[in-house]
Chain A
Amino acid sequence: MSLRPERQAPPEFFYNETEARKYTTSSRIIDIQAKLTERALELLALPDDGVPRLLLDIGCGSGLSGETLSEHGHQWIGLDISQSMLDIALERETEGDLLLSDIGQGLGLRPGTMDGAISISAVQWLCNADKSCNHPRTRLKQFFGSLYKCLARGARAVLQIYPENAPQLEMISAAALRCGFSGGLVVDYPHSTRAKKYFLCLMCGPPSTSTSLPKAKGLDRGSESEGSSDADEEAGTVDILERKRPSKKQKDKKGKGRSWVLKKKEQRRHRGYTNVPQDTKYTGRKRKSQF
């Protein structure tokens, strides 16, 4: 197994001229990125009115993902940290505007301006602390916080990511939720190591019934009963993301109860303290919260 790109060098060095060149010459890469973008657009679920939208392409690289956006008629702004990748995008004369920027420093965009955002194979890069000044958690927070702000009300962000492992996936989605997003993880072809793809689908604000979560690919296996023999078709999975914060109740349970307080007071009296309050019916009683 070769080392993951994210572990080899920071993105602005890994995506050098040679690596960037691959993104114009390898038809396999071009094909994969186009398919991922088509899928991300589908999950973005823009209103079906034929009107172009203004979208963000986060980690746009050489513009392969952006080209798919243009094919659908959309205007887009692409951000990338690698000058070499952007140079290729310029060579390809992609239609979106390009910005050389590090998404881990936050997106400098005015609030409420973007109709949606996609990101193809880029965000997992934020999990690598490749410089001493890079703290993954801080950078994820900067990124998701500023992304949340710049999206218009009700807009979505669909981020296709290659997480290194489960904790990394958890770190990315938790960071998104902490910044106010709701949403879920759509996993296409979850049982195939090669085809498996993670799409983090984020919505601004709390989930509502009108913004239901999209379906994963391959889920409609109901057709099986009708005699479909497409055994290769694999079911996708959808997970609703939930903030994993211990609830108030759980905390209280673990809190120190009346018996603990009584024991401690007894101990202190035993040691000769004279300022220990009397035991009454109020001792160790739960206090009402202030709100």
Chain B
Amino acid sequence: MAHEYENHAPMTMRMETPMPYEWSIGKYGSRFFQEIREKNQFIGIRCPGCGKVYIPPRRVCGPCFKELDELVELPNQGAITAFSIVNYPFIDPNTGIQRPIPYTYGYIRIDGADNIFSHIIDETDENKIKVGMRVRAVFKEKDAMQGHINDIKHFEIVD
């Protein structure tokens, strides 16, 4: 009888199993991580159509629809173009563990690049960080590098 169950709350079902992937990084992406590992520097790529230098390097310039192949060495420094000190919990997709908050997500123009690279900036005091400040990448020890975006630990303000 339906009425016997009227006091029961609606039920839900949880699923917490991760879905595994193994994504190819590609020719230029692999080169990007090798450059970080070998030289603690970056590599970008120049479009033969518009001359734009992209970081990380990629095969196609969207606006020009041209294939890129001219790699450009870039320094491990740049300037902050935008940032956010984040208090919203973030579950690291690699570990499933929540990253400590707050953390600062930064939009960084690497010297010599025309697009913006993003990474963590190790400054969470809003009084000590501003758009335009100079930053420098801090890398992991070579032996600890895995061909991963976290081979760059973070950027630090050098102003």
The answer to whether A and B interact is: no
Interface residues of chain A, those whose CB is within 8 Å of chain B, are: none
Interface residues of chain B, those whose CB is within 8 Å of chain A, are: none
